[in-house]
Chains A and B, each alone.
Chain A
Amino acid sequence: MNHSELLTQLSEQYVSTNQWCALWPEIALALLAVLVLLIDLFAGRLRARAVPFAAIAGQVVIFAVLLGKLGTCDPADSGLLFSGMILPTTLSEVMRLFFLLASILVCWLGMLYLRKQDLPRMEFYCLTLIVTAALMLLGQSSNFVMLFVALETVTIGFYILVSYGRNSIFSLEGGLKYLVLGGTSTAILLFGIVLLYGAAGDPSLPVHSGDSLNFLALEQFLAANPNNVLAKVGMVLVLCGVCFKIGAVPFQIWIPDVYQGAPTPVTAFLAVSSKAAGFIVLINLVTGPFGPMASLTVPLLSAITVVTILFGNLTALGQRNVKRVMGLSGIAHAGYLLLGIVALIQGVELAAWAVIFYLFTYLFGSFTVFGVMSHLAGPDDENQEVDHYVNLARRQPFLAGVLAIGLGSLAGIPPLAGFIGKVFLFVVAFQANLYLLLGVAILGVVISIYYYFGWMREAFFQEQTWPEGKEEQLAPIKVCLPHKVAMAALAIITVLLGIYQGGFGGGF
């Protein structure tokens, strides 16, 4: 009786407030996923077109509404929701937009990819939608239980998505590797959470809490007990779990194979959304519960930053497979972003915005490149070599131009968005006096020029000893108008963000 009373009380509490409204985008995405299922059931012959159309159009509508609401409602008013599970902030609102945008683009790439494959179509969109909803929740979670559940929803979705190309052994191999290593990292993360829970719930310690998985309670506990060994170990383990998501060294080992094996849209999804999710969690953690532990997190993350930047850039140098290049250079980008995180821990408030801005530039730059890659990829998706881009400027000048803008932005060449993103990060690093890390970052940027530029070089500068007959073997690449518009829009945004940053610069 007691139980049911409590349950009624709780449900009344939830029903009577409008807490659920705060989560309407996630709920709408879940409904959209169900709608996609229904369309697939009933649309009959139209389903090949109707499913992606519904998925993309639905997300565009949610995106538009979210964008219109951005800044109008003050999230500070709403405060903690669902007994402290969810804490919407301006940051998480912006990241919602980010994940939605990435998801729309992933669906678009999915259309390009599935066109060339003999695979079921509907599940792809359904999974993407659900993963995106979970990513949004992840950005707002303010309790380790919520964080873990959201993270697992994301990860399990990705297990399926990575091995979506079930006809390709590379995709299956990638899926298995991701499953094994992802499972390991989840175990590490969970162990860390449990240690924190145990330490913070110990009644013999000051400021212990019955709700010790809550970020706020944990922060107060860690501030009162900065030298608790158990909590320290737990925190390091949690950071390790997050570092796996962002692909920081030494948890990068899965990246090249998984990125290569996964279908191109999933690679883009992993590269952009999964990494961004890792960073938003990291931002929430270091400004929240791990804030009092700066003396431990700064050296730890600094060391990881140095190794990550160097490892990513150096290993990308020798790659010929462009998906591996994107993966390994993505490790380097994670390193630059970690620079911003370290600055954030040092108390530079602008750093969070620098990281977000960089993530946006990374999104636009990456999807521009992935769009071109999807056009050039054949049915064997994992086989995308730099050599396939030889003479692209002659065969398809539009794609080559878009590729140049995308790669240029990733390399951080002005006047493109990626450059401003890097400047932002450098400025906040200066504000935090991180000279060593800055030096390493500069070195990394210079190294990265070599492989990005080498890729562009294949596309633009034809070999002088190019045999005459060989050129004709290459099939002409057709780009349909909608795809052209999409890629042109991405490229134009990349250029515009490099010149005009109104809104972003002021932290929205």
Chain B
Amino acid sequence: MTDFNSLLLILAIVIPLAAAVALLFGQKLCPCAAKFIAGIGFLAPAAIALWLWGNFGEAAKTAGYAYMSQYDLGMKDTLGISLYLGLNGISAPLFLLAGIVGLAAGWQAINAKAERLPQYLLLLLIMQAGLMGVFASIDIFFFYFFHELALIPTFIMIGIWGGAGRRSAAMEMTVYLTLGAMLSLLGLIYIYKASDWTGFDLIALREYVSAHSIADAVQHNIFGLLLFGFGILVSLFPFHSWAPRGYAAAPTANAMLHAGVLKKFGLYGLVQIAVPLLPVGALEWNPLLIWLALGNILFIGLVTIAQRDLKLMVGYSSVMHMGYIFLGIATLSVAGVGGAVILMFAHGLSVALMFVLSTAVYARTGTYDMRDMGGLGMKAPLLAGFFVAATMASVGLPGFANFWGEFTIFMALWKDHAWAVAPAVLGIIISAIYGLRAAAAIFMGAPSEAFQKASAGKAIGDITRAERIPAIILIIGLVLVGFWPHSISTSINEELMGDSVYQPKVLSTVQTPAAATPAAGHAHEESAS
């Protein structure tokens, strides 16, 4: 079973870890050597992810999974836990996302001139290994395990290299996320129990669920645990308060990886584990989830408008966009969930891009307070261009990947919850307001007095190469998917169509199966254009 590509899959996890270990024992190395090792640690997973994703269509699949390999680490017989790796149609794009954002964040970090750079890179590499592992795991215990592996460096990095208020932000984030992680762990063990101790192997669990059904009340309880556990990790409204503060305090590369990739863990868990295994539970919790998601969109949207701190604004806007993804999942249809996965991919790229650019702005203005900026566009036109493009992407303008995600979510939402479309679309206007206002405040108009005073006698240049490369990597991803959504929607669509849970006959009463595939349909139209 372990062929070359399966080996590559595990290497994508092992190489960053090995690089981290090399840095641990090579603290005395010169900075260039440390940077070189770290560079390999970030480049290899990205290259492997691209390669595996490129070959995904042709790869041999068992139960929808390609590149499978399994290793027993001592708990297979007692608890049914083993390191079981593979990619399916949903996890492949997200695995790619982790690779791309990891590369961009790694590049950003290598050039970040952080104090104690080797340790900084070491933690980031551990995080990267965890991220690659999360999406490559078929075993849901290891899925959780890798998430935690990536989470720990986040706390440490915020605590050591973070900005203002890092001590309390790191603490708040740790306590909050531990609560979320513990609830989801309980939920996952509960699944293990409810499936008659089948194990933690997702494929076996799915087979179990299709052969037997879990009692409704049990499904209700487990889904509740997972919804709130995962929800806290994804900053579902009213459990979001850790996210903006944490991101504002986090060092840039860390915020990129966490907001861009790690936060998708909870959403991915809902799409891949909770909904397929517990469809009845999902249906029962659905109305509440829609209300909470609308809370994310409208309530947090308005809060975002009120922000004057650029990084806090990016943090809040990221929380807000989670609302759309939750809405997509709440539709429980192929289109909605497919749109949610596309949006997860797109949002991961765009929020990472926003963090890169905010840091570039900070490097020039010396402040994140947007009231103390202005007129930067004259001095840094390219940066302004990038920033506006990133804003457009995160608002969801056509031509960027986000558009396809949001669009298909609205389409799917219209079918069962038409009333929720209006507030959701209102959210787009809200995000346009804060995005454009931010762009205007930073780049347009006359420089503010504070900015003039701060920048007096300093030459402010345009975006440097070190800042440009991660930005370009991310923008290419956004635009490529924006103009050719087929590239990622095919695998997602195939996977979701193959899942009986999302078939309309299971969850809603009136639809026909053919009506539920606008994601694929639009993909075709767009690729033709």
Given contacts A442-B186, A500-B74, contact A427 B167 (CB under 8 A): no
- Report the Cα distance A427→B79, complex, angstroms: 8
Q: Is the CB of B167 within 8 A of A449?
A: no
Q: Is the CB of A430 within 8 A of B189?
A: yes
Main secondary structure of the interface of A (DSSP, over half): helix
- Chain A residues whose C-beta falls within 8 Å of the C-beta of B192 in the assembled complex: 427, 430
Question: Which chain B residue lies CB-closest to A420?
Answer: B75
Q: Is the CB of A423 within 8 A of B175?
A: no
Q: What's the minimum C-beta distance from A381 to chain B, rounded to whole angstroms? A: 29
- Chain A residues whose C-beta falls within 8 Å of the C-beta of B75 in the assembled complex: 501, 505
At the interface, yes or no: B473 with Cβ under 8 Å from chain A?
Answer: no
- Report the Cα distance A499→B166, complex, angstroms: 30
- Chain A residues whose C-beta falls within 8 Å of the C-beta of B189 in the assembled complex: 423, 426-427, 430
Query: In the complex, which residues 391-445 of chain A have their Cβ closer than 8 Å to any Cβ of chain B?
Result: 393, 408, 413-415, 419, 423-424, 426-427, 430-431, 438, 442, 445
Q: Is the CB of B149 within 8 A of A438?
A: no
Q: What's the minimum C-beta distance from A353 to chain B, rounded to whole angstroms? A: 8
Given contacts A408-B152, A427-B189, contact A449 B145 (CB under 8 A): no
- Report the Cα distance A442→B186, complex, angstroms: 8
- Report the Cα distance A438→B183, complex, angstroms: 10
B154-162, B258-266, B402-410 - the one binding chain A: B154-162
At the interface, yes or no: B174 with Cβ under 8 Å from chain A?
Answer: yes
- Chain B residues whose C-beta falls within 8 Å of the C-beta of A324 in the assembled complex: none
Q: What's the minimum C-beta distance from A444 to chain B, rounded to whole angstroms? A: 10
- Report the Cα distance A442→B170, complex, angstroms: 20
Q: Is the CB of B175 within 8 A of A457?
A: no
Q: Is the CB of B185 within 8 A of A453?
A: no
At the interface, yes or no: B73 with Cβ under 8 Å from chain A?
Answer: yes
- Chain B residues whose C-beta falls within 8 Å of the C-beta of A431 in the assembled complex: 193, 197
- Chain B residues whose C-beta falls within 8 Å of the C-beta of A457 in the assembled complex: 159, 167, 170-171
At the interface, yes or no: A467 with Cβ under 8 Å from chain B?
Answer: no
At the interface, yes or no: A203 with Cβ under 8 Å from chain B?
Answer: no
- Report the Cα distance A350→B75, complex, angstroms: 12
Q: Is the CB of B171 within 8 A of A453?
A: yes
- Chain A residues whose C-beta falls within 8 Å of the C-beta of B448 in the assembled complex: none
Q: Is the CB of B183 within 8 A of A442?
A: yes
Q: What's the minimum C-beta distance from A492 to chain B, rounded to whole angstroms? A: 12
At the interface, yes or no: B386 with Cβ under 8 Å from chain A?
Answer: no
At the interface, yes or no: B190 with Cβ under 8 Å from chain A?
Answer: yes
The tally of residues in A whose CB lies under 8 Å from a CB in B reads 33
At the interface, yes or no: B3 with Cβ under 8 Å from chain A?
Answer: no
- Report the Cα distance A505→B174, complex, angstroms: 29
Q: Is the CB of A502 within 8 A of B178?
A: no
- A446 contact from B166, B179, B190, B193, Cβ within 8 A: B179
Question: Which chain A residue lies CB-closest to B75?
Answer: A505
At the interface, yes or no: A82 with Cβ under 8 Å from chain B?
Answer: no
- Report the Cα distance A453→B152, complex, angstroms: 11
- Report the Cα distance A424→B164, complex, angstroms: 39
- A502 contact from B74, B141, B166, Cβ within 8 A: B74
At the interface, yes or no: B148 with Cβ under 8 Å from chain A?
Answer: yes
At the interface, yes or no: B77 with Cβ under 8 Å from chain A?
Answer: yes
At the interface, yes or no: A53 with Cβ under 8 Å from chain B?
Answer: no
Question: Which chain A residue lies CB-closest to B164?
Answer: A464
At the interface, yes or no: A450 with Cβ under 8 Å from chain B?
Answer: yes
Binary contact readout A465-508 vs B (1 if CB under 8 angstroms, 0 otherwise): 00000000000000000000000000000000001111111110
Q: Is the CB of B155 within 8 A of A501?
A: no
- A426 contact from B148, B170, B186, Cβ within 8 A: B186
- Chain B residues whose C-beta falls within 8 Å of the C-beta of A250 in the assembled complex: none
Given contacts A445-B182, A457-B159, A500-B74, contact A505 B79 (CB under 8 A): yes
Q: Is the CB of B160 within 8 A of A499?
A: no
At the interface, yes or no: A460 with Cβ under 8 Å from chain B?
Answer: yes
- Chain B residues whose C-beta falls within 8 Å of the C-beta of A14 in the assembled complex: none
The tally of residues in B whose CB lies under 8 Å from a CB in A reads 34
- A501 contact from B73, B170, B171, Cβ within 8 A: B73
Given contacts A457-B170, A502-B73, contact A414 B148 (CB under 8 A): yes
Query: In the complex, which residues 126-177 of chain B have their Cβ closer than 8 Å to any Cβ of chain A?
Result: 141, 144-145, 148-149, 152, 155-156, 159-160, 166-167, 170-171, 174-175
- A503 contact from B74, B159, B170, B178, Cβ within 8 A: B74
At the interface, yes or no: A461 with Cβ under 8 Å from chain B?
Answer: yes
Q: Is the CB of A415 within 8 A of B182?
A: no
Q: Is the CB of A505 within 8 A of B74?
A: yes
Q: What's the minimum C-beta distance from A483 to chain B, rounded to whole angstroms? A: 19
- Chain B residues whose C-beta falls within 8 Å of the C-beta of A419 in the assembled complex: 148
Given contacts A414-B149, A454-B171, contact A499 B73 (CB under 8 A): yes
Q: Is the CB of A442 within 8 A of B182?
A: yes
Q: Is the CB of A506 within 8 A of B174?
A: no
Q: Is the CB of B160 within 8 A of A461?
A: yes
- Chain B residues whose C-beta falls within 8 Å of the C-beta of A506 in the assembled complex: 74, 77-78
Q: Is the CB of A423 within 8 A of B185?
A: yes
Query: In the complex, which residues 182-203 of chain B have their Cβ closer than 8 Å to any Cβ of chain A?
Result: 182-183, 185-186, 189-190, 192-193, 197
Among B75, B76, B183, B189, chain A packs the most CB atoms within 10 A around the CB of: B75
Q: Is the CB of B152 within 8 A of A413?
A: yes
Given contacts A413-B152, A449-B175, contact A500 B73 (CB under 8 A): yes
- Report the Cα distance A62→B152, complex, angstroms: 39
- A505 contact from B78, B144, B171, B175, Cβ within 8 A: B78
- Chain A residues whose C-beta falls within 8 Å of the C-beta of B76 in the assembled complex: 505
Binary contact readout B51-74 vs A (1 if CB under 8 angstroms, 0 otherwise): 000000000000000000000011
- B145 contact from A414, A446, A504, Cβ within 8 A: A414
Among B77, B170, B186, B197, chain A packs the most CB atoms within 10 A around the CB of: B186
Query: In the complex, which residues 21-72 of chain A have their Cβ closer than 8 Å to any Cβ of chain B?
Result: none
- Chain B residues whose C-beta falls within 8 Å of the C-beta of A350 in the assembled complex: 78
- Report the Cα distance A191→B178, complex, angstroms: 44
- Report the Cα distance A438→B170, complex, angstroms: 26
Question: Which chain A residue lies CB-closest to B190?
Answer: A430
- Report the Cα distance A426→B152, complex, angstroms: 21
Q: Is the CB of A461 within 8 A of B166?
A: yes
Given contacts A426-B189, A446-B182, A501-B73, contact A415 B170 (CB under 8 A): no
Question: Which chain B residue lies CB-closest to A504?
Answer: B74
Question: Which chain A residue lies CB-closest to B145?
Answer: A414
Question: Which chain A residue lies CB-closest to B162?
Answer: A461
Given contacts A427-B192, A438-B186, A442-B183, contact A450 B171 (CB under 8 A): yes
Q: Is the CB of A430 within 8 A of B193?
A: yes
- Chain A residues whose C-beta falls within 8 Å of the C-beta of B185 in the assembled complex: 423, 426
- Chain A residues whose C-beta falls within 8 Å of the C-beta of B148 in the assembled complex: 413-415, 419
Q: Is the CB of A446 within 8 A of B170?
A: no
- Report the Cα distance A450→B175, complex, angstroms: 7
- Report the Cα distance A442→B183, complex, angstroms: 7
- Chain B residues whose C-beta falls within 8 Å of the C-beta of A454 in the assembled complex: 171
Query: In the complex, which residues 477-508 of chain B have their Cβ closer than 8 Å to any Cβ of chain A?
Result: none
- Chain B residues whose C-beta falls within 8 Å of the C-beta of A445 in the assembled complex: 178, 182
- Chain A residues whose C-beta falls within 8 Å of the C-beta of B79 in the assembled complex: 423-424, 427, 505
20 A-B residue pairs with Cβ-Cβ distance under 8 Å, sorted by A, are A408-B152, A413-B152, A414-B148, A415-B145, A426-B189, A431-B193, A438-B186, A442-B186, A449-B178, A454-B171, A461-B159, A461-B170, A500-B74, A501-B74, A502-B73, A502-B74, A504-B74, A505-B74, A505-B76, A505-B77
Given contacts A427-B189, A438-B186, A505-B78, 20 further A-B contacts (CB under 8 A): A414-B145, A414-B152, A423-B79, A426-B186, A427-B79, A430-B192, A431-B197, A442-B179, A442-B186, A446-B179, A446-B182, A449-B174, A449-B178, A453-B155, A453-B174, A461-B160, A461-B166, A502-B74, A505-B74, A507-B78
- Which 6 residue pairs are nearest across A and B when measured between Cβ atoms? A502-B74, A501-B74, A414-B148, A505-B75, A461-B159, A505-B78
